[in-house]
Each structure stands twice: as C-alpha cells, then as structure tokens.
Amino acid sequence: MRKDKIRVAIWGFGAMGSGMARMILNKKGFEIVGVCDQYEKIVGKSIFELLKIKANQNEVTISSDIESMLEQEKPELVLLATDSFTASAFPKIKLLIEHRCNVISTAEEMAFPFASEPELSNEMNRMAKEYGVTVLGTGVNPGMMMDLLAINLTGIMSDVEEFHISRVNSLSPFGKTVMEEQGVGFSITEFEEKMKRHEIAGHVGFKESTHMIAASLGSKISSFEQSMSPIVTEVDRKSPFGFAKKGDVCGVDMRCVATMENSIPIHMHHPQQIEPGLAGVSTKDEIIIKGTPEVHMTITPEIDGGIGTIAICVNMIPHVINARPGLKTMIDLPVPRAIMGDVRQYLEEE
Amino acid sequence: MRKDKIRVAIWGFGAMGSGMARMILNKKGFEIVGVCDQYEKIVGKSIFELLKIKANQNEVTISSDIESMLEQEKPELVLLATDSFTASAFPKIKLLIEHRCNVISTAEEMAFPFASEPELSNEMNRMAKEYGVTVLGTGVNPGMMMDLLAINLTGIMSDVEEFHISRVNSLSPFGKTVMEEQGVGFSITEFEEKMKRHEIAGHVGFKESTHMIAASLGSKISSFEQSMSPIVTEVDRKSPFGFAKKGDVCGVDMRCVATMENSIPIHMHHPQQIEPGLAGVSTKDEIIIKGTPEVHMTITPEIDGGIGTIAICVNMIPHVINARPGLKTMIDLPVPRAIMGDVRQYLEEE
C-alpha cells in the first residue's frame, strides 16, 4: 500500500461538496488539501467549523482563489461540485487538467458529456491525455440508478429488446432552492408560465442516461423526446421546506422515450414530489428490461439522491486515479464500490 | 472498428458450452473456430447439426483433440465450460495460456479463485502476464447475482454495515444430472447419507462470492461457515426431469455467514428446489445492504441460471480482450453489458 495519502480538493462547498468533505473525513487514507467556494459568508472559514466536526487532519479554510490553491496544494484529485451543464463546467475542468489534477464532476451533463457536448468532450479527452490525468462525471442519477445499474443488469442477458426505467422519489428532504426549481407550491398556471420560461429545472439527465445505455450496447440514440408536467396534489402536502395546497403543484413529472439506432427503445419516467406517501405513491427505483431473460428489478424505497451522489463521487476516487488518462464515463471503469477501510488499498500498485 | 472477427473456441459442449455457441452464432463479429468435447456421441459431428440451426459461418465439427485445434485454429479466446473447481480447470487453463489464448471459465471457483486456491491463482496470474493474455472466471452465480450486483449497489453508499443476499430459484428447468446433484426425489435419510458422502453438490460459490465482496471493499474474509439442509416438500412436486413425493426432498437449502476483517458480516441464503410455486415460494434475487443509505433490491423472478451464465460469459468476451494481461475477476473489469450489434464495436482501438 502506498505511503502518501490521496490529496483531494473540493471545488464548490454546497450540499454536495460539503457532504463529500464530511464523508472523506470519515475515511482513512485521504487528506483534504483545499476547498474553494465563492460564497462570501463561508470564505475564510474553517471547514471543520462549518461541518461542526472535530478536526482530524490539517486545518483547511475555504478559499475563493482556486488558482493559488491549486498551485500551493497540488491536489491529486479535485471534486468539482459547482455546475449542472458541461459548458459551464468546462473552463473549470480545463483549469484543473492544466494543473495536472484528476477530476470528478457532479455536473449532470458530465455523466455522459458526449450526448450534449461532443466537441467539448473530445477536447477534454485530448487535454486529459496530454496532461496524464483522468476526468469523470458521475452522480446517483445520471450516473447510476437510471443508467449504469440497468447496463449492469443487461450483462446476464443474451438479447435486449426494451428498457423501462423509472425513479419515483421524494423531494421532502430538499431545501428551498430545489422547491423552487421543481415548482413545489406553485399554482398550475404559475407552473406552466415558469415552464415556458424554462424556470422549472426538472431532471437533467435523461439525455445522458439514454446515450450512456446506447453507447454501452454498441449503438447510438437516433431519436429522443422528453416531456415535463406538473404533479397536482389532491391533498395539502407539507415538507420541511415546501408546501403545496390541494390543487397546487407538489412536484414535476418527467418522461422520455429514446430509440437507439438498433431500434431498442428506452422509456424513462421520473416523477419527483414532496410527501408522495400522502397520495399513496411508493417511492422506488425500478428497472424492467424486456429480452432474454426478462429482468424486473425494484429498489424500495428509492436510493436517496443526496447521499447517493455524495457517496458515488467519493467512492469513484480510486477508480479514477487507477484509470488510464482521458475523459471517462461510468461504463469505462470497474464496477463502483463503497470505500471501507483505507482508500489506498483500492489503488493499483504499478 | 477492427476488420477481423473475434476467433472464439469452446471447450466443453454441454448445456453451457452449446448455449454459448448458439448465442455467439446469433451475434455479429464473432467466428467460432473450434469446439472440443470428449463425449463420444458428439465427437466428429457438426455443431450446426447438434444445435439444429442453419450454418451461418464456416463448418465446425466437435474435436476431441484440444492441442491440434489450438495449433491449427489459433483462437483469440477460449470459453472453458468443463469444471466447477479451479484445481481441475487449472491444467486446461495453463494449456490455453501457453497457446496465447484469452480464457473465460465457467468454473464456479474461478469466479474468485484466490478464495480457495491462492497459489494456483498467483501462478495463473504470472503465466497470463508472461504470455500477454487475460483469464477470467464468471457466471450468473458466483459472478453476478450474489456478489457483483451487491458490490455495484455499495457504490452509492457512504457506509456499509451488513449484507443479506438471497437467491431463491427453481430447479424445474434443469435436467437429470442436476436433479441428482441437488438430491431431488430422495428420501430424507437417503439425502442425509449422500450429504455425508459429499454427493450432494448444492451450490458452489458462497466462498467465492463472499471473498469477492470482501476484496472489493478493501478487506478479507476472517470467518466463514456454510450449511446445507434438505428442502422437504409437503405436496407432491413434478418437474420435467424431477419428481419428489410428499415428505421427500425437492431441493437443497444452503446458507452461509461470513465476516470480513473489518467486522462487516455477509449473510447468504440460497434455497434451490423444483416447483417452488407449489409451496407458495416466490423465486427472486434479493440484496439487502444495511448502512447509509440502506439498500433493498429485489429481482422477481430470479435471473435464470442457465441463460444468465451463458450470457455473461459471452458478454464478457470484449472486456477480457480489452483488459491488461493477467488473472482478473469481475471486480477488475468494467461493468458487464449485453452485446448487441457487432461485438467489434466493444473493442478498444489501440
């Protein structure tokens, strides 16, 4: 086992970035060497104070100057938890590559960036190879529940005919921002106006998940359509940060149908709402794959999106360090797994 | 995409080997260049005749002389479907490595050969590297349902506390040999006598699955216990090749408890019987992982063991060809996936 710890930095100290810091500080073999964020109220503060935990390694204070941090601390890997879209993450990833850092990005589009940004993807791949580092986008969805897990299940199939993948989750654990982005509490009219103005985020990831599935099966997506509609509640629903009264919107229902060039269709359904139980809705992740043999998988309740994303980003760190240089996706790397014990045991010795 | 097809040979033309031939002949980009088996009744016969399908590539007749076949046909990869145990598969794997063939073995112990045969494993690894080929053992179980899939699910977990993995399957689709190996139709006394004489095969794989899970989580198995007991039927049960009358044995119930050095326990339960529905038993694959977050996955009905093993062996062919030389297990390679379209699309271009 190698002697020096994995020097990790975190860029973006919101719910995801701070959750990753907390997870890493609970594991052995890591050293957090820097954390960057632009939010004034936390710049200059100790991450241990912000996380309300006892320091168990060198002090780290939030910096707003990424370049100085990279130059001084030379992290081996940076967890980038700042964006949803590849175009906005790209300049940051470029900077990190130029500083010879491996990168794991939470940006949803980065889970399969070839889907929406093939040119930027080729550029990231070229640069990563030039500088000898690996770049990966991942998360619970896209990244696992509606794509990688389905791909894994096709491994025991001799023929695949059709995918039906759904994720029914609760928005109740989430905060104010998510409530607004998902339209919780709006009237139907307000929701529809905001939807027209593209102010309802919904789920970003169907395109990435379907393209990842197609690529893993040696094909491409030839047609793709997605739709968004309000989930209207028939009872008053209240969550810690959201409220929707009877007749108003308690979440967003999203669907997509994509078809591969080999004619295999992928159907996805992802309704997200506060307090689904009040409407008798059971949360779950479900993957049905028609073919030989037919697969019918259910995970109940659904995998928590917050913890799941934090965990998979951290758990992929050794895989990313072990990988050959370049831009990778989850289908290029070994099966993800939880880091238990010292993370350095997961590193290849070569 | 490379021009020449993947030249595959199959050693062992029983239910698994012949099923793999059938699957490969349905895919593009493969060429079956040889099939070996010792069974007199099929030696010299055409595989197309035996499979009762129309020839869609060069004729292949069953040979009983593996060395001549390897020398003449120079397969790039050999599917070895002859054994359950590493020790008996080892001389065959050695021969294949010396002929510079990549190998995929269905031997249950080969799914994680380090568990029972660490010395032979090191020797296979050394030889495979010397000759520049890759050796993999896989199958539906061990290889996927009770190990790799559970490992994949830990990827979204920040902490793992306990595994409870069960596979409840039907033996009804299987033939005479399996009925005898699993004790179907015996009286309780007969079963117990045969069990003492180690004539009830039961499931070979708990050791491999638990060791694979431990290795994937950076640990080792420190204690391992397994037990076998007869499943006694309360109604007459009849399957195409088996019959158990009320009060007799209709299958085998196997359990194991293993503990990792990091104290995480793995509980496994694998009851196999004919016509489970007659006793109100629903077949399924189930993985419960306690920790953060808790995961509760069910696949209903269970993944068919025959088709599943055939499919995963064939589906792993491109991953094995792409891999660096050495002895690999499922946790070293990218996530398995179904081969759709031309298999050569799955090969890395390098």
Strand partners, A31: A7
pLDDT in tens, chain B (350 residues): 899 999 999 999 999 999 999 999 999 999 999 999 999 999 999 999 999 999 999 999 999 999 999 999 999 999 999 999 999 999 999 999 999 999 999 999 999 999 999 999 999 999 999 999 999 999 999 999 999 999 999 999 999 999 999 999 999 988 888 899 899 999 999 999 999 999 999 999 999 999 999 999 999 999 999 999 999 999 999 999 999 999 999 999 999 999 999 999 999 999 999 999 999 999 999 999 999 999 999 999 999 999 999 999 999 999 999 999 999 999 999 999 999 989 999 998 76
List all residues 6 or more positions away from B279 whose beta carbon is below 8 Å from its beta carbon: B233, B234, B235, B237, B273
Is pTM beyond 0.95 here? yes
Cβ-defined contacts of A60-66 (< 8 Å, 24+): A60/A32, A60/A33, A60/A34, A60/A35, A61/A35, A62/A13, A62/A35, A62/A36, A62/A37, A63/A34, A63/A35, A63/A36, A64/A36, A64/A37, A64/A38, A65/A36, A66/A11, A66/A36, A66/A92, A66/A95
- Which chain B residue has its CA at the smallest distance from A339's CA? B217
Nearest to A242 by CA among A255, A231, A228: A231
Angle at the Cα of A112 (from A106 to A113), degrees rounded to 5?
90
Instruction: Provide the pLDDT for residue B175.
Output: 83
Instruction: Provide the pLDDT for residue B283.
Output: 97
The secondary element (H helix, E strand) that includes residue A62 is strand A62-63
Report residue A47: phi and psi, to 5°.
-65, -30
How far does the CA of residue B68 sit from the closest CA of chain A (Å)? Answer: 31
Residues A6/A30, Cβ–Cβ less than 8 Å: yes
Smallest Cβ–Cβ distance between B337 and the set A217, A299, A341 belongs to A217
Q: B333, B335, B350: which to substitute to probe chain A, counting the most A Cβ within 10 Å?
A: B335
Please judge whether B156 and A140 are an interchain contact, meaning their C-beta atoms are less than 8 angstroms apart.
Answer: yes
Question: Is A148-303 in CATH node 3.30.360?
Answer: yes
Task: List, by residue range, all CATH 3.30.360 domains of chain B.
Answer: 148-303
How far apart, in whole angstroms, are the C-alpha atoms of residue A110 and residue A142? 9
Give the model confidence (pLDDT) of B167-214 as tens digits: 999 999 888 888 998 999 999 999 999 999 999 999 999 999 999 999
Residues of A in Cβ contact (< 8 Å) with B340:
159-160, 217-219, 262, 264
- The ipTM estimated for the assembled molecules is 0.96
Give the model confidence (pLDDT) of A98-137 as tens digits: 999 999 999 999 999 999 999 999 999 999 999 999 999 9
Residues A154/A219, Cβ–Cβ less than 8 Å: no
List all residues 6 or more positions away from A41 whose beta carbon is below 8 Å from its beta carbon: none
Instruction: Provide the pLDDT for residue B178.
Output: 86
How far apart, in whole angstroms, are the C-alpha atoms of residue B21 and residue B10? 8
Instruction: Provide the pLDDT for residue B108.
Output: 95
How far apart, in whole angstroms, are the C-alpha atoms of residue A208 and residue B245? 54
How far does the CA of residue A220 sit from the closest CA of chain B (Å)? Answer: 11
- Which chain B residue has its CA at the smallest distance from A213's CA? B337
Please judge whether B337 and A216 are an interchain contact, meaning their C-beta atoms are less than 8 angstroms apart.
Answer: yes
Please judge whether B158 and A340 are an interchain contact, meaning their C-beta atoms are less than 8 angstroms apart.
Answer: no
How far does the CA of residue A261 sit from the closest CA of chain B (Å)? Answer: 10
CATH class of B6-139+307-346: alpha beta
Answer whether residue A350 shows pLDDT above 70. Answer: no
Task: List, by residue range, all CATH 3.40.50.720 domains of chain A.
Answer: 6-139+307-346
Smallest Cβ–Cβ distance between A217 and the set B293, B334, B338 belongs to B338
- Which chain B residue has its CA at the smallest distance from A344's CA? B218
